[in-house]
A and B are shown apart, each in its own frame.
Chain A
Amino acid sequence: MTPFITTLIAYGIITTLLWGTALKLLAASWNLRR
């Protein structure tokens, strides 16, 4: 694993974790309001 790939994976993890949680919460909020 090259340093560049490692760095990309780290950014991918943060992006997936935070935006995945955001999408999940927005969907839950929308479902509960319906």
Chain B
Amino acid sequence: MTANHLTHKCPITHGAACACGSFCQSVAQSPAKKLLIPAYWLLTFAAFAGAIALVFTWTPEEATMGIIQKIFYFHLPVAINTFLACAVVFIASIGYLLQRETWWDDLAAAAATIAVVLCTGVLLTGMLWAHGAWGVWWTWSPRLTFSFMLWLLYVVYLLVRSSVESPQRRALVSAVFGLVAFLDVPLVYLSARLLPDIHPGEISLAPEMKLTLALCMVPITLLAAGLICTQFKVNKLRRARSLERQEQFQLGGTPTLAGGTL
């Protein structure tokens, strides 16, 4: 038993001796790490609350749209972080295809889950802003269509994952899907610049508005990174639990169809 095993509870054996080897090392928390995680979330919460206060109290209203334009300060950072989450899925998919290590698959699944959450936020806030500014909830302009496609692609990615039973096959299929789905990200970005769209191709902002946008990027990026890391940790723990159950099932000598004893 190493010193590490004395400082944490093994997620597989729930105490006693450690049975998860290198996995246990990866999830073990030192006292410093235990403080670091709540501190990170507290800092993110404070930055998030500060950003909202800044938007509603200090930032000037836009001349033509009025207060509804303030949706922009969270809408754009959430959209940028959706792209970043999709990029993590893309990189993790390449990582899995090159190395065939399961943690790449866990990371890709985590980033895809958070990409769906963020993209849902982008679509909903966009619809509210569109209704207030343009008088319509939705229009099939190129950027909106590609954004909706992006949301659908990552929802399908998660559905595909849940429908494949074999872990190896699921990881392989998901990695290929993750690579293909990312192709929509440049389409969303370029659509408003290259095609006629209801979104402006370029935006010019007053210095206070630019500063507010930059300050709103901080909590949203911290939150998105924290969500991906936590989901990744949850995925790794779930995989360990599933392996534990599998091992218990095999060690217990329970009759299986494959063994021909049923």
Contact = CB atoms under 8 A, between A and B. Distances in A.
B237 A14 contact: no
Contacts of B68: 3, 6-7
B223 interface: yes
Interface in B71-129: 71, 74-75, 78, 114, 117-118, 120-121, 124-125, 128-129
Given A7-B71, A33-B9, A13 B124 contact: yes
B120 to A, nearest CB: 6
Contacts, number: 82
A14 B121 contact: yes
Contacts of B48: 15, 19
A9 B121 contact: no
Interface string B50-80: 0010010000000000111011001100100
B170 interface: no
Given A13-B124, A29-B234, A32-B11, A6 B132 contact: yes
Contacts of B70: 7
B233 A29 contact: yes
Nearest to A33: B11
Nearest to B75: A10
Interface stretch (B139-147, B191-199, B203-211, B224-232): B224-232
Interface residues of A, number: 22
Contacts of A29: 230, 233-234, 237
Interface string A1-26: 00110110111011101110110011
Nearest to B37: A26
Interface residues of B, number: 39
B41 interface: yes
Interface in B181-200: none
B125 A25 contact: no
A34 B124 CA distance: 36
Given A4-B67, A21-B117, A9 B230 contact: no
4 shortest interchain CB distances as A-B pairs: A32-B237, A25-B230, A3-B68, A10-B71
Interface of A: 3-4, 6-7, 9-11, 13-15, 17-19, 21-22, 25-26, 28-29, 32-34
Interface of B: 9, 11, 27, 41, 45, 48, 52, 55, 66-68, 70-71, 74-75, 78, 114, 117-118, 120-121, 124-125, 128-129, 131-132, 220, 223-224, 226-227, 230-231, 233-234, 237-238, 241
Given A6-B71, A32-B234, 5 more contacts: A15-B52, A17-B117, A19-B48, A22-B230, A25-B231
7 contacts: A4-B67, A7-B128, A7-B132, A15-B52, A22-B41, A32-B11, A32-B241
